[in-house]
Amino acid sequence: MLNLEGKIALVTGGGAGMGRAIAEAFGGQGVRVIVAEIDPARAEAVRVALDDAKVDNLVEVVDVRDAGQVAALAGKIADRFGGLDILVNNVGDFMGIVGPFANSTPEQWDILYQVNLKHMFIVTHAMLPLMRKSSADSSRRGGSIINVSSIEGFRGIPGGVVYGAFKAAITGFTQSLAVELGREGIRVNTIAPETTDTEQVQVTNWTNPKYRDHTERWIPLGRFGVPRDAAGCAIFLASDLSAWVTGTTIHMDGGALAAAGWYRTPAGQWTNMPVIADKGLIF
Ligand SMILES: NC(=O)c1ccc[n+]([C@@H]2O[C@H](COP(=O)([O-])OP(=O)(O)OC[C@H]3O[C@@H](n4cnc5c(N)ncnc54)[C@H](O)[C@@H]3O)[C@@H](O)[C@H]2O)c1
């Protein structure tokens, strides 16, 4: 049902975190994997891992914010593979920029724009001719673009207003592009993760051990995300399992968005009130 064997996929930021998990999971399904990664050491590490797993791969050190570098990568993909079936626009970063919107600067807005939204335009624009070429071949028909957003694009994020705005914009990009490309058999969807343990967000390390039990009461599925969760969503969206799914979002969030402000008290009851011992709405 997957029909991924022999497909060609590009994963941006595939040297760490969710991108690396997606790249390796694709490789495990017989996908030929291209990784665009800005960090040379991470690029080398994922190349070695893919080689060791006998995955046909092309790992390039590329800054996806740079249209020239991305165009050069498209040329290499054309020469080596002749087309592209799957594109995962995974790069994104809050860049350590946290604080009230009133204190943010135009320079910070630009930094966040480049790394959370503009690269999706650059990479998708550069790779579309290759994806169209693959999809126009009746034996390969169908393509999948997967944009990695954030659950913060679907709720407010105080202290991350500009980051949240660009993540929310990915929803619009996904929907409109899905409509444009539907006739060509190229699907476009979004994965929106809740807090996930990665190199960028080392949430378990950052949580004081004495408060770690909070997590299992706050997130309905009882834990933070792990990169493998993103890999599962990406396999679904890349494969024929989702052949009739386009223009939509998988909230990869352990149920956190559905729960909104609801969480369990230490006694295991549900509340949407501040932490209180004996007052408020307790279910
Ligand atoms: N981890 C989380 O809690 C979380 C939550 C919501 C959304 N996300 C989103 O998920 C995606 C993946 O996040 P992650 O936590 O796995 O990130 P990560 O930082 O752990 O891994 C991202 C990889 O992308 C590379 N990269 C960064 N900028 C690049 C560029 N300009 N060109 C090429 N490569 C570049 C990094 O070197 C790194 O290897 C991002 O879009 C992020 O915004 C993450």
**pTM score, two decimals?**
0.96
Q: Which residues are catalytic?
A: 163
Integer Cα distance of 243 and 122 in angstroms: 26
Decide whether any atom of ligand 1 lies within 6 Å of the 117 Cβ: no
Decide whether any atom of ligand 1 lies within 6 Å of the 204 Cβ: no
Nearest ligand 1 atom to alpha carbon 92 = 41
Q: What is the pLDDT along the chain (283 residues), one digit of tens a residue?
A: 999 999 999 999 999 999 999 999 999 999 999 999 999 999 999 999 999 999 999 999 999 999 999 999 999 999 999 999 999 999 999 999 999 999 999 999 999 999 999 999 999 999 999 999 999 988 888 999 999 999 999 999 999 999 999 999 999 999 999 999 999 999 999 999 999 999 999 999 998 888 888 889 999 999 999 999 999 999 999 999 999 999 999 999 999 999 998 988 888 888 888 765 666 566 6
Contact 21/231 with Cβ under 8 angstroms? yes
Contact 147/188 with Cβ under 8 angstroms? yes
Domain boundaries, the chain: 8-201+224-258
Maximal C-alpha separation, the chain: 68
Which three-class secondary structure state does DSSP give residue 135? helix
Instruction: Give the CATH number of domain 8-201+224-258.
Output: 3.40.50.720
Decide whether any atom of ligand 1 lies within 6 Å of the 36 Cβ: yes
199 alpha carbon – ligand 1 mean position (Å) = 8
Count other Cβ atoms within 10 Å, centred on residue 25: 21
Nearest ligand 1 atom to alpha carbon 197 = 1
